Amino acid sequence: MNTAIEFRDVTKTFKGANYSAVDHVSLTVNEGEFVTILGSSGCGKTTLLKMINRLYEPDSGSIILFGEDIATVDVVKVRRRIGYVIQQIGLFPHYTVGENIATVPKLLGWDKAKIALRVDELLDLVGLEPKEFRDRYPAQLSGGQQQRIGLARALAIDPKIMLMDEPFGAIDSITREKLQDELLTLHREMGKTILFVTHDIEEAFKLGDRVIIMNEGKILQFDTPEAIIRQPADPFVQSLVDSAKVKEAFWREYL
Amino acid sequence: MIAYASRYYDKLLSATLEHLEIVVITLLISLALAAVLTVACSYSKTLSRFLLNLFSMIYSIPSLALLALLIPVTGLGRKTAIVALVIYNQYLLLRNFLAGLDGVDRGVVEAATGMGMTHMQLLWKVQVPLAKGALIAGLRIALVSTVGIATIAASINAGGLGSILFDGLRTMNVAKILWGSLLSAVLAILIDRLLLLVERRGSKRHSL
């Protein structure tokens, strides 16, 4: 199996902080894997993610994408190879849905016909009728629809790697469930390598082929959901799994 | 007062046009300079802090004093007036421009950066269009202030409506004083309204 993403002893400390946001992390993600990163706020999971598209630069260590050290590649080029979806979505309010999706293809100078075709294809892919949505503005869409566009925009030039930073964090739970299922289907069909940050344990275990559990900048466990549930590697992981079980028990009382 | 206007309407008209000319030239130079400085400041927080402090210091100098300070450098007349007005405007424009760009939604900026826009693409395709309201608001303030301060520039022979005003003050001619101030006020209000219209039209499109 090909290695898509590799961290080699990566450390990042923010100015003025007396601990490392990411602390000597080494890990390997295979091509086509769906990996979720789970941890509470401030554990370094977003920092870990943002170093991959160089929104943050590591203080030491190196990050390798498909055999290439990203520190040696032009930062704009690195980012254009990676799809990026964030919780705030960040659609451009002055662009229509179609123009939003077409952003990167336009930057790359695709011709108009090809872009139009791609926009419609992507809208279909994320389950929105092209004719109806193409010319709307983001403010005319619901939160769930906006994040579908965010996803379509990130997929526009068919990147091999997708980084998703709590993409469904601000979306109501019914829509979130649906989006999770659709993302799983998309992943099965397209075989992209996905890194997905979340603080929701159910989401992490449902989506991830493997789950990274982080605390205080360190990776506590990086394994399949089953292995983590069966054999928590450390008391923190144990407490996470327990908290999910308590929640489960709460619902069972009412069923 | 009406009698004065009907006798000297050509004088009033030419003074108004002269005034407008100073304002327009000042505006064009100010805008060009402020645009360059804003782009430079978007690259460096240190530069941005330095320039804002510098211009706010200069802005606090009373206009008569600043004009007097500039006379040894650029002489009497319109050139000096325009230089002074451009310097004053830099504070108003730069401050509003930078605040406007800074006020653009962080999520939008992060998404744009993350998808691989260069600094200039981020600026021109995202930040400037989204900050348009704030940019035009800054422009309006600068224009109104220019119309006002330009009257004082008549004290160093720059011409314009200020010359009528100062003539009136010297000769105690109330009609002249009133016409000078009235016309410059009307000019300021008209220009302000005009830009307000532009601002409204610009912001209407995506608000729904």
Please write the tens of the pLDDT for every residue from A11-41: 999 998 888 999 999 999 999 999 999 998 8
B205 and chain A: CB distance < 8 Å anywhere?
yes
Mind telling me how many Å the CA of B134 is from chain A's nearest CA? 15
In the numeric block, the tokens 């370094």 are attached to A44
Check: CB of residue A30 under 8 Å from CB of residue A146: no
Q: Whole-prediction pTM value?
A: 0.86
What is the per-residue pLDDT for B208? 45
Buried-state track A109-143, b at ≥16 Cβ within 10 A, e below 16: ebeeeebeebbbebbebbebebeebbebbbeebee
What is the per-residue pLDDT for A49? 97
Distance CA A91, CA B115 (A): 12
ipTM: 0.90
Q: Would you say residue B205 has pLDDT above 60?
A: no
Count the neighbouring beta carbons within 10 Å of the beta carbon of residue A89: 24
What is the per-residue pLDDT for A4? 96
B116 and chain A: CB distance < 8 Å anywhere?
yes
Give φ, ψ of A200 to 5 degrees. -100, 115
Residue in B closest to A107 by C-alpha: B117
Mutate to test the interface with A, among B45, B105, B115 (most CBs of A within 10 A): B115
The pLDDT tens digits of the residues spanning A181-202 come to 999 999 999 999 999 999 999 9
Check: CB of residue B11 under 8 Å from CB of residue B180: no
The pLDDT tens digits of the residues spanning B136-176 come to 999 999 999 999 999 998 888 888 899 998 989 899 999 89
Encoding tokens for residue B132? Answer: 């348009």
Distance CA A169, CA A154 (A): 17
CB contact under 8 A, B106 and A150: no
Contacts of B8 (CB under 8 A, 6+ apart): none
* Chain A / chain B CB contacts < 8 angstroms: 71
How high is the mean pLDDT of chain A?
94
Query: Chain A, 154-193: which have a CB under 8 Å from a chain B CB?
Result: 154, 163
A252 and chain B: CB distance < 8 Å anywhere?
no
> For residue B104, which residues of chain A lie inside 8 Å, CB to CB?
none
